[in-house]
Amino acid sequence: MNFDHQKIEEKWRKKWRETGIYRTNLSIRQAQDKKKWYNLMMFPYPSAEGLHVGNMYAFTGADCYGRFKAMQGYEVFEPIGLDGFGIHSENYAIKIGKHPADQAKISEKHFYEQLSRIGNRFNWDNRLETYDPEYYRWTQWLFVQMFKHGLAYRKKAQVNWCPSCKTVLADEQVIDGKCERCSTAVGKRENEQWFFKITEYAQRLLDNIEKIDWPEKIKISQRNWIGRSEGVEIIWKMTRFDLVISTFTTRPDTIYGATFLVLAPELALVNKLKLNKAAKEYVAKALLKTEQQRKLEEKKKTGVDTGYQVVHPLTGKPIPVWIADFVLKDYGTGAVMGVPAHDERDNDFAKEHQLPVIDILKDKEEIIRKLEKKGLVKRTVNFHLRDWCISRQRYWGPPIPMIYCEECAKRNTPESKNIPLRSGMAGWYPEKEENLPVKLPYVQDFKPTGDGRAPLAKAPRGWLETVCPGCGGKAKREIDVSDTFLDSAWYFLRYPSVSNKETPRRKPTRSLLAGTDELRLPFDPEITKNWLPVDAYIGGAEHAVLHLLYSRFVWMALSDWGYIPKALGPEPFPFLYGHGLIIRNGAKMSKSRGNIVNPDEYIDKFGADALRMYLMFIGPYDQGGDFKDTGIVGMKRFLNRVWNLCSTPGVKDVHTPGVLLLRHKTVKKLTEAMENFRFNVGIANIMEYVNGLEKYFTPGVKEVSTPGVDSIKTLILLLAPFAPYISEELWGKIGGKFSVHQQLYPKYEEKLTKNETVTVVVQVNGKLRGRLELGAEEGKNKEKVLTLAKADEHIKQYLKDKKIVKEIFVPGKLVNLVVK
């Protein structure tokens, strides 16, 4: 008999909503009441096409885990919302010729509808959308705090420029020289941009990696991205010129092998040198390339001789100074000593330009001491991490809440009497907190222009012009919007406080601004104290650097300013689980590859339970797997078997030793599997359990006919995190009280999991056809063993249409059925 998944799923979806069983009691206090569990999956940024099976994979695993935690007695908070601002959504709106604000409403509705079907225990009350002014007022608030605390600044810089998205990008958003969103090769532009000083946190971001329980490969990516490097700066005097060049090296022990110096083309010093025409051209050309391009083209080892020389500080010999674009201006000092004998890159360069190779190594400390005596060296630490470029010349984002007053700029007025004027910041004021949000105006012509000016330049004058917070004169609003990664760098702090629209006012404590007016906060301090940090953060490893680094930075900053109690710890996500990806036809499932599977049709046809189970069974959760239609058919069949097993009447509570053992063993295995996200293993164990129970459960055969009510109950409870609908229905059918999802996870007794069983081999005409796993006593009972053997699905095949002429039984060991 097949069960009607459509009917069941609709029925329970409705009941769950009405009864609010997944609503979290956010006012509980840790330790005093129940223990909390903040179960969070990474923030989805759905497009209008909606959810695909790859996305659902992420959600389902997280939900199985959250459900398991709830059954362990935790108060679980599993919120949902969407990250809807940003280039991704805006590009889609452009593609289909809609305004992003209108499209957002459509996408949102579709997304939530789809999500409501997959059966997650979402706490729908605390939904949030990043484009909701109630949300982005706080994203802007965060920007204002960054500014007030000296962590947001403006500078003219060579920045990454995506010619297709027509905007600048942060370094983290350039993957192998290409735009993270559209894969177009990224170019370079010089532009005034806003930056967040994430580099100020480089050391802490690095140190704290040791304190968090994350997949090692994500930790490695972060360590590499931060890129701490200890070394020395060495000063080289020029021969004909009263100038010095400083180089950064991690290998002072190689200094005797230095046969040339190389300067980055952008280095200010280069402008002071008199260069020949070829050298000038080389420099001009290099300036147009991006850092990424240069890294990629590094193999070619182009460069020019400046004609100048420096004195080697230890040998006194002159060595030539070159310019080459493999040297990056923003790293170290922007100049290096070339040691072709010990550095491969330098070696290639020397070969290319016929420069000498000298192979000498000397004691490092000794060399540093010698140079120290001459005052030509300094120990330094460099980080590869760069400040976070936060401004975007796009439309669909929170306007950067800054105001510029030309008059104040001329008079060099600092933005606040509490803060000294920072260079380049004259005339800039943050919008007052009480005036937030600075609403994004509806601009019909919102498309990026490509001339470097943000689309908000076309906003109504009433929006563009405002009153100067400093002098009260006429001032202009910033027209850039902030990077979407800022929206998602703090959302986990907002979730628990969403329903508290009016968060309490509070004086900043440790902040620089102590003593200023009371401020409203984006999150309720009490709730935050009870619910953060996040207990389990579950998401894809592709966010290894971007989102995860930014969120850690924001948490640290808020914590330093006193907005997050130190007691909550130094990190927002002490535990992170990285799930794998779903593959389809050999490639990662993604819109751009056109191998998307929409879950809707599968849910219609097989049910959300079957799809969830199938996805969780596809492979280890941290590795993902290949999506095949046949797999889900098999899973639906399995659920039918469970349905039939549980709904056959006459289930009595008798514990044969074999059943008892099987049950306790299974519960033990499942508990371990669930705790460790081994969902595929857990499902395999449930399958074995069902196979086992089916053997015992042979209707009409009295003595051995029953797996017992407890075993069936256990089955349903074990299934509940994976297949929430069918388990709810079956639970009701066997007389359980609503809801199965509010029951505790089954417990096992260690001593009952010990192997007190025997394996009885089953032969048909002397050939091995199966094995029975039985309790030691049971295995000696001829009648029982024979009944079980004949009832076994596999063995039955060999008995079909045959007559048993002889039954040989060796107690606890063997059965041989002789058939004709």
Contact positions toward ligand ANZ, by CB under 6 A? Answer: 229, 248-251, 254, 264, 327-328, 331-332, 334, 336-337, 339, 342-343, 382
Neighbours of 187 (CB within 10 A): 17
DSSP 257-309: G--EEEE-TT-HHHHHS---HHHHHHHHHHTTS-HHHHHHHGGG---EEEEEE
CB of 145 vs Zn ion, minimal distance in Å = 22
Neighbours of 257 (CB within 10 A): 22
CB of 408 vs ligand ANZ, minimal distance in Å = 37
Kindly tell me which residue out of 40, 159, 390, 408 binds Zn ion, with binding defined by CB under 5 A. 408
Residue 420 binding partner per list ligand ANZ, Zn ion, none, with a CB distance cut-off of 5 to 8 Å that depends on partner kind? none
Query: Residue 175 and residue 178: Cα distance in Å, rounded?
Result: 5
Q: By CB under 5 A, is residue 405 in contact with Zn ion? A: yes
Residue 470 binding partner per list Zn ion, ligand ANZ, none, with a CB distance cut-off of 5 to 8 Å that depends on partner kind? Zn ion
Rg over alpha carbons for the chain, rounded to the nearest Å, is 33
Residue 343 binding partner per list ligand ANZ, Zn ion, none, with a CB distance cut-off of 5 to 8 Å that depends on partner kind? ligand ANZ
Kindly tell me which residue out of 328, 471, 596, 734 binds Zn ion, with binding defined by CB under 5 A. 471
CA torsion sign, 515 to 519 to 523 to 525? positive
Query: Residue 743 and residue 720: Cα distance in Å, rounded?
Result: 10
The DSSP code for 560 is H
Q: Are strands 128-129 and 81-82 parallel, antiparallel or unpaired?
A: parallel
Cβ density class 716-754: b for 16+ within 10 Å, e for less: bbbbbbbbbbbbbbbbeeeebeebbbebebbebeeebbe
CB of 359 vs ligand ANZ, minimal distance in Å = 11
Question: Which residue's CB is nearer to ligand ANZ, number 249 or number 763?
Answer: 249
Question: Which residue's CB is nearer to ligand ANZ, number 250 or number 449?
Answer: 250
> In the structure encoding, which two tokens stand for residue 363, read together?
């004691």
CA torsion sign, 124 to 128 to 131 to 135? positive
Residue 471 binding partner per list ligand ANZ, Zn ion, none, with a CB distance cut-off of 5 to 8 Å that depends on partner kind? Zn ion
Residue 328 binding partner per list Zn ion, ligand ANZ, none, with a CB distance cut-off of 5 to 8 Å that depends on partner kind? ligand ANZ
Residue 530 binding partner per list Zn ion, ligand ANZ, none, with a CB distance cut-off of 5 to 8 Å that depends on partner kind? none
Stretch that binds Zn ion, among 161-169, 404-412, 437-445, 808-816 (CB under 5 A): 404-412
Q: By CB under 5 A, is residue 402 in contact with Zn ion? A: no
CB of 231 vs ligand ANZ, minimal distance in Å = 6
Question: Which residue's CB is nearer to ligand ANZ, number 298 or number 688?
Answer: 298
Question: Which residue's CB is nearer to ligand ANZ, number 334 or number 397?
Answer: 334
Of 619, 633, 625, 629, nearest to 598 by C-alpha is 629
Question: Which residue's CB is nearer to ligand ANZ, number 193 or number 254?
Answer: 254
Residue 693 binding partner per list Zn ion, ligand ANZ, none, with a CB distance cut-off of 5 to 8 Å that depends on partner kind? none
Question: Which residue's CB is nearer to ligand ANZ, number 258 or number 468?
Answer: 258
Residue 229 binding partner per list ligand ANZ, Zn ion, none, with a CB distance cut-off of 5 to 8 Å that depends on partner kind? ligand ANZ
Q: Which residues have CB under 8 Å from 256's CB, separation 6+?
A: 314, 315, 358, 360, 361, 362
Helix axes 5-19 and 724-733, enclosed angle (nearest 10) = 90
Residue 327 binding partner per list Zn ion, ligand ANZ, none, with a CB distance cut-off of 5 to 8 Å that depends on partner kind? ligand ANZ
Question: Which residue's CB is nearer to Zn ion, number 470 or number 625?
Answer: 470
Residue type at 669?
K
Q: By CB under 5 A, is residue 327 in contact with Zn ion? A: no
Inter-residue contact 222 to 240 (CB < 8 Å): no
CB of 367 vs ligand ANZ, minimal distance in Å = 12
Residue 250 binding partner per list ligand ANZ, Zn ion, none, with a CB distance cut-off of 5 to 8 Å that depends on partner kind? ligand ANZ
Of 462, 502, 485, nearest to 553 by C-alpha is 485
Residue 334 binding partner per list ligand ANZ, Zn ion, none, with a CB distance cut-off of 5 to 8 Å that depends on partner kind? ligand ANZ
Residue 248 binding partner per list Zn ion, ligand ANZ, none, with a CB distance cut-off of 5 to 8 Å that depends on partner kind? ligand ANZ
Beta strand ranges found along 508-659 (DSSP E):
519-520, 536-540, 576-579, 581-584, 587-588, 624-626
Kindly tell me which residue out of 84, 398, 470, 708 binds Zn ion, with binding defined by CB under 5 A. 470
The DSSP code for 213 is B
CB of 189 vs ligand ANZ, minimal distance in Å = 21
Query: Residue 758 and residue 817: Cα distance in Å, rounded?
Result: 19
Question: Which residue's CB is nearer to ligand ANZ, number 54 or number 257?
Answer: 257
CB of 404 vs Zn ion, minimal distance in Å = 9
Question: Which residue's CB is nearer to ligand ANZ, number 233 or number 756?
Answer: 233
Helix axes 608-617 and 629-647, enclosed angle (nearest 10) = 120
CB of 194 vs Zn ion, minimal distance in Å = 19
> In the structure encoding, which two tokens stand for residue 353, read together?
């330009």
Residue type at 5?
H
Q: By CB under 5 A, is residue 175 in contact with Zn ion? A: no
Q: By CB under 5 A, is residue 468 in contact with Zn ion? A: yes
Applying CB under 5 A, the residues found at the interface with Zn ion are 405, 407-408, 468, 470-471, 473
